[in-house]
Copies of this chain bind each other. A is one copy, B any other.
Amino acid sequence: MSRKVSDSTVRRLSHYLRILEKLERQAVATLSSEELARSADTTAAQVRKDLSLFGSFGKRGLGYPVTDLKRHLRAILGLGKPWRVALVGAGRIGSALFEYGDFRRRGFNIVAVLDNDRAKVGDAWGGIPVRHISELADVVRSEGVEILILTVPSEAAQEVADVAVAAGVRGILNFAPVQLRLPEGVSIQDVNMVMELEALSFELSRDDDGLTDVAAS
């Protein structure tokens, strides 16, 4: 009974969750799809459709109970239990991500850090020793790593991913600008900031051209 849930729906659910957590801190008890839509920059119908894929969480005439809906969203997104994450690549981006408290706060615990550079091995990052990349398979198994954050150079990314997947990793957050090839059942999310900047560049260049009909509104 695997329903098809679109990527954009998942991203919106994550967005809704962030909004609900804020509202809960403000002791808001209930909100309508209309209000949630306004905060999430979408439409009320979209909010209702998204949520209705997973159940009926609202009360007609009233709206959605904040705390309850938050709990449901966490369950839907698989955030019921913390995830065990390994960070591979202890360079600048890796270190910035490691320090980024929101991961831990959201239940993504970095339980291991690995790098290629023997000069870094043995350093302790917030109590976690940096280990050599050659230990990757062992670490994945002994620490029960489920998700990998990959911040190694492009040339190394595929090989590291292969080893990790063979050892049991099932999800990868990939910062290397390469298209990783992985077996069925392994999920990948790519983060590519150059691509984002190029998307901006495209839009800005488009607007320039003066081709925009500034007619009515």
Query: A residues engaging B (CB < 8 A)?
Result: 1-3, 5, 7, 10-11, 13-15, 17-18, 39-41, 54-55, 71-72, 75-80, 83, 92-93, 95-97, 99-100, 102-103, 106, 108, 146-147, 170-173, 177, 179, 185, 187, 189, 191, 193-207, 210-215, 217
Q: Which residues of B contact A76 (CB under 8 A)?
A: 202
Q: Which residue of B lies closest to A200 (CB)?
A: B171
**A-B pairs with the 4 shortest C-beta distances?**
A78-B205, A92-B96, A171-B200, A78-B201
Pick the contact of A92: B75, B95, B212 (CB < 8 A). Answer: B95
Contact (Cβ within 8 A) A3 B212: yes
The residue from B17, B71, B146, B206 contacting A204, defined by CB atoms under 8 A apart = B146
Given A1-B210, A106-B198, 8 more A-B residue pairs with CB atoms under 8 Å apart are A10-B199, A13-B202, A78-B206, A102-B194, A103-B193, A172-B200, A173-B193, A173-B200
In Å, the complex CA distance between A39 and B5 comes to 26
- Please measure, in the bound complex, the distance between the C-alpha atom of A31 and the C-alpha atom of B191, giving whole angstroms: 27
Nearest chain B CB to A50 CB, angstrom units: 13
14 A-B pairs (CB sep. < 8 Å):
A2-B212, A7-B199, A13-B198, A55-B214, A75-B215, A76-B202, A77-B198, A78-B205, A92-B95, A103-B193, A108-B197, A173-B197, A187-B204, A189-B196
